[in-house]
């Protein structure tokens, strides 16, 4: 995930920045694909101990160890992970793949612009991700911090969604609207991509075929809608959006004209894959992010600061979509000795199809402030 450091954000702002930026001539580019940033000779993963209250995590392994690494998602065969990372020599996120033990790390994006939100397509021979490279070799600059605006995310209109072979070659554009197109994820059923776009004048959730055809708008209410994932049977979608009672419509429209959005209050929502049956499953006034379905179809795991909505500590939670009962999963807190002020984040979780393994990103065990790394654990019911 990108990290503009001109004025380092603190606490809650840092997490929101991470989550928000994660929103976020093919032939001439072939030379930059497939760069090897790891080793296939042996697993570099390091065993870690979950914290005392993390009774649902076992066999915790750290897969990355420097830079800003986020949004790691399983391949369909669950024999690889695809993720975004800011690491030398790149000034903004690029897309990488690696094995589940952290070995064989390879860049699969162009190396140009800024990228976000990568996912494997059915069969694992192709991938999708969002990128700004067509608008320029350099990544777009983040907005200057304006205390009058408060905390905001950049929504870069330069983002488009691309498909490529697993090694990054054969790049094809799937979207070509004048605004923001990003945050693509793929249905486990293999037939649709869900994504966020401003093509109709607001930040809304859409779906399309895996070749970019048959685009359908799924949300229409003013305000940010995004970060969507399909359920394991492809029949439902979970996403993040504000409580509609909290939306300042005029402010939202004014910010969007400046390619900005205010993300401090977002709830977790579900709907049917055709956009019907919308239901808000959290209502805590906190910053709730990165929802993903448990394979049982009854629970959703997500990241939140609900235990202290004014604070900066983000943890993983499970919510039952029927009873709304919510259970805390992680307990990485800033008061832990050695933790940095803004390093108290657990987020971007994704289960395997059997629910037995969980990949997520965290600031735990950092060597430097604001580093975010990828972890895999067994999930214990």
The tens digit of pLDDT for each residue in 273-288 reads 999 999 999 999 999 9
Q: Which of 22-26, 81-85, 275-279, 315-319 has the least mean pLDDT?
A: 22-26
Tell me what the mean pLDDT of segment 283-302 comes to: 96
Q: Which of 73-82, 150-159, 229-238 has the least mean pLDDT?
A: 150-159
Band the pLDDT of 41: cuts 50, 70, 90: very low
Given this model, what pLDDT does residue 318 score?
98
Band the pLDDT of 12: cuts 50, 70, 90: very low
Contacts of 111 (CB under 8 A, 6+ apart): 32, 35, 90, 94
Separation between Cα atoms, residue 375 and residue 64, nearest integer Å = 8
Given this model, what pLDDT does residue 67 score?
87
Given this model, what pLDDT does residue 110 score?
97
Separation between Cα atoms, residue 324 and residue 314, nearest integer Å = 19
Given this model, what pLDDT does residue 343 score?
63
Separation between Cα atoms, residue 244 and residue 30, nearest integer Å = 45
Given this model, what pLDDT does residue 338 score?
59
pTM score: 0.89
Contacts of 353 (CB under 8 A, 6+ apart): 78, 188, 232, 295
Band the pLDDT of 43: cuts 50, 70, 90: low
Band the pLDDT of 339: cuts 50, 70, 90: low
Given this model, what pLDDT does residue 29 score?
36
Tell me what the mean pLDDT of segment 41-50 comes to: 80
Given this model, what pLDDT does residue 368 score?
79
Band the pLDDT of 325: cuts 50, 70, 90: very high
Band the pLDDT of 5: cuts 50, 70, 90: very low
Given this model, what pLDDT does residue 89 score?
93
Given this model, what pLDDT does residue 316 score?
98
Backbone angles phi, psi at 264, to 5 degrees: -70, -20
Domains of the chain and any CATH numbers: 11-379 (2.120.10.30)
């Amino acid at each position: 995930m990108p990290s503009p450091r001109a004025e380092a954000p603190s606490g809650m702002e840092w997490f929101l920045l991470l989550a928000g930026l994660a929103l976020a001539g093919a032939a001439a580019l072939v030379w930059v694909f497939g760069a090897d940033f790891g080793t296939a000779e042996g697993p570099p993963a390091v065993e870690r101990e979950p914290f005392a209250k993390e009774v649902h995590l076992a066999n915790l392994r750290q897969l990355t160890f420097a830079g800003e690494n986020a949004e790691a998602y399983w391949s369909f065969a669950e024999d690889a992970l695809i993720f975004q990372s800011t690491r030398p020599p790149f000034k903004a996120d690029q897309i990488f793949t690696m094995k589940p033990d952290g070995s064989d790390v390879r860049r699969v994006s162009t190396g140009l612009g800024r990228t976000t939100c990568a996912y494997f397509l059915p069969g694992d021979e192709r991938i999708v991700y969002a990128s700004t490279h067509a608008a320029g070799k350099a990544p777009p600059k983040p907005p200057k911090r304006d205390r009058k605006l408060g905390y905001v995310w950049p929504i870069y209109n330069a983002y488009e969604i691309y498909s490529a072979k697993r090694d990054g070659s054969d790049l094809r554009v799937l979207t070509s609207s004048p605004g923001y197109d990003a945050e693509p994820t793929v249905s486990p059923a293999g037939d649709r991509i869900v994504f966020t776009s401003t093509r109709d004048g607001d930040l809304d959730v859409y779906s399309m075929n895996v070749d970019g055809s048959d685009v359908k708008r799924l949300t229409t209410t003013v305000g940010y809608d995004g970060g969507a994932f399909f359920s394991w049977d492809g029949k439902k979608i979970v996403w993040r959006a504000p409580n509609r009672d909290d939306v300042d419509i005029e402010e939202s429209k004014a910010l969007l004209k400046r390619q900005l959005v205010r993300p401090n209050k977002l709830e977790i929502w579900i709907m049917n894959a055709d956009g019907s049956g919308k239901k808000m499953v959290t209502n805590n006034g906190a910053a709730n992010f990165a929802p993903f379905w448990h394979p049982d179809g009854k629970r959703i795991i997500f990241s939140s600061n609900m235990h202290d909505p004014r604070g900066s500590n983000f943890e993983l939670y499970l919510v039952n979509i029927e009873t709304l009962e919510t259970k805390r999963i992680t307990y990485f807190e800033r008061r832990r000795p050695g933790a940095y002020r803004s390093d108290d984040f657990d987020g971007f979780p994704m289960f395997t199809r059997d629910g037995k393994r969980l990949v997520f990103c965290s600031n735990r065990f950092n060597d430097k402030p604001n580093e975010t790394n990828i972890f895999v654990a067994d999930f214990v019911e």
